[in-house]
């Protein structure tokens, strides 16, 4: 049975009382002790005698901690104490279910394998397996689509630290369309992953653009500088809301894009929406999808990935561009 936070706090307080052989804790003493310590955490927290009795019952149960708690008569009252004073709920061995949960958590941490600032994951994994005696002989049950051989990941730590510490970087960068690299001071603001590639956005001093987009795999060299850092007020969640991918063309506004999919593709598009704004309905034996986004290259690439099961209905400019691309493929 799952244990909530407040209950676990009470169990730990009671655990200390039951292990204290130098004091007799009657039921009223237990209630008073628990309430005193709860109020230190939150003045509004308190428990009744009935709750403490239920807590004791749970601690004794197999669903709880299997604790052996004695009721020792003293006059007309009884006080509570562990049968074995060395027992503690915190010394109870992990159940197989708990071990499986930890193994799954370790596998989830493995998602970060390969990113420099997550080197501590290896230490945590080794520590958990060593201290808790966990040996995972099962096949992994969680897998992520992550390419640890991505170029540019060696720059990730410097970029991450520079964002946190507000540090300006000198960058040598060579885009796919440029024959020679160019150099500039860069104020990094935000790291974003898209389609198994990492990008960093920030202020480019050379062109004074406050949301310049760099692909990490195109960065040839990067160094820290002593140049004063210019901060940003951009809300990056809002900035990216109207786009698919990482490119937001300057001056463009969101438009309604209408697409039509055949019935074979419909379940996929419904279960995995193209964009949070997606609305869809069936029309003439096809699925009509409406999204409101800024038109960029990533949108076009997404649409093309559904060929030949997709049609562009509107806007007309996107429809024309789509047909031009398809026609160029047919000519080759």
Burial class of residue 73 (count of CB atoms within 10 Å of its CB; 0-12, 13-18, 19+): exposed
Show pLDDT as tens, one digit a residue, over the chain (332 residues).
Answer: 445 668 888 999 999 999 998 899 999 999 999 999 988 888 888 899 999 999 999 999 888 888 999 999 998 899 999 999 889 988 866 666 666 777 677 666 665 555 555 655 665 666 666 656 655 555 555 555 556 556 677 888 889 889 989 999 999 999 888 889 999 999 999 999 888 888 999 999 988 888 899 999 999 999 999 999 999 998 998 999 999 999 998 889 999 999 999 999 999 999 999 999 999 999 989 999 999 999 999 999 999 999 999 999 999 999 999 999 888 877 65
Placement of tokens 């209630």 in the chain: 31
Cβ neighbours for 237, distance < 8 A, ≥ 6 positions apart: none
Beta bridge partners of 223: 170
Query: Can you say how many angstroms the Cα of residue 277 is from the centroid of all Cα atoms in its chain?
Result: 22
Nearest in space to 157 (alpha carbons), one of 203, 119, 122, 211: 119
Angle at 306 between CA 301 and CA 307, to 5 degrees: 95
Output the pLDDT for position 1.
Answer: 43
Name the maximum alpha-carbon separation found in the chain.
100
**Please, are residues 163 and 191 in contact by the beta-carbon 8 Å criterion?**
yes
d(CA 46, CA 331): 77
Beta bridge partners of 78: 73
Cβ neighbours for 288, distance < 8 A, ≥ 6 positions apart: 258, 259, 260, 280, 281, 282, 313
Output the pLDDT for position 215.
Answer: 92
Output the pLDDT for position 60.
Answer: 92
Look at the alpha carbons of 313, 318, 322, 328 in this order and tell me if their dihedral is positive or negative.
positive
Nearest in space to 32 (alpha carbons), one of 46, 43, 20: 46
d(CA 164, CA 229): 12
Query: Can you say how many angstroms the Cα of residue 46 is from the centroid of all Cα atoms in its chain?
Result: 34
Please state whether the predicted TM-score (pTM) of the whole model is above 0.75: no
d(CA 282, CA 302): 21
Output the pLDDT for position 90.
Answer: 84
């Amino acid at each position: 049975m799952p244990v909530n936070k407040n209950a676990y706090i009470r169990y730990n307080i009671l655990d200390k009382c039951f292990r204290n052989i130098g004091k007799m804790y009657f039921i009223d003493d237990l209630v008073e002790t628990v309430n005193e310590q709860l109020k230190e955490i939150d003045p509004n927290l308190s428990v009744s005698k009935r709750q403490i009795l239920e807590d004791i019952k749970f601690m004794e149960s197999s669903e709880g901690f299997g604790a052996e708690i004695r009721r020792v008569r003293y006059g007309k009252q009884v006080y509570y104490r562990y049968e074995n004073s060395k027992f503690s709920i915190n010394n109870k061995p992990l159940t197989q279910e708990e071990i499986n949960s930890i193994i799954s958590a370790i596998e989830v941490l493995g998602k970060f394998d390969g990113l420099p600032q997550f080197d501590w994951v290896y230490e945590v994994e080794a520590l958990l397996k060593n201290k808790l005696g966990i040996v995972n002989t099962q096949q992994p049950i969680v897998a992520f689509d992550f390419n640890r051989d991505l170029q540019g990941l060696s720059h990730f730590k410097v970029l991450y630290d520079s964002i946190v510490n507000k540090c300006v970087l000198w960058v040598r960068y060579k885009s796919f369309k440029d024959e020679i690299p160019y150099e500039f001071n860069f104020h990094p603001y935000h790291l974003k992953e898209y389609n198994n590639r990492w990008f960093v956005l920030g202020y480019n001093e050379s062109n004074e653009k406050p949301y310049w987009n760099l692909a990490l795999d195109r960065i040839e060299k990067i160094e820290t500088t002593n140049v004063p850092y210019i901060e940003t007020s951009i809300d990056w969640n809002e900035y990216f809301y109207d786009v698919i991918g990482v490119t937001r063309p300057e001056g463009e506004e969101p438009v309604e894009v209408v697409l039509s999919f055949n019935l074979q593709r419909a379940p996929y598009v419904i279960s995995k929406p193209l964009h949070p704004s997606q609305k869809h309905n069936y029309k003439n034996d096809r699925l009509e999808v409406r999204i409101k986004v800024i038109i960029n290259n990533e949108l076009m690439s997404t649409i093309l990935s559904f060929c030949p099961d997709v049609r562009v209905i509107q806007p007309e400019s996107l429809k024309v561009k789509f047909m031009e691309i398809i026609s160029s493929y047919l000519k080759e």
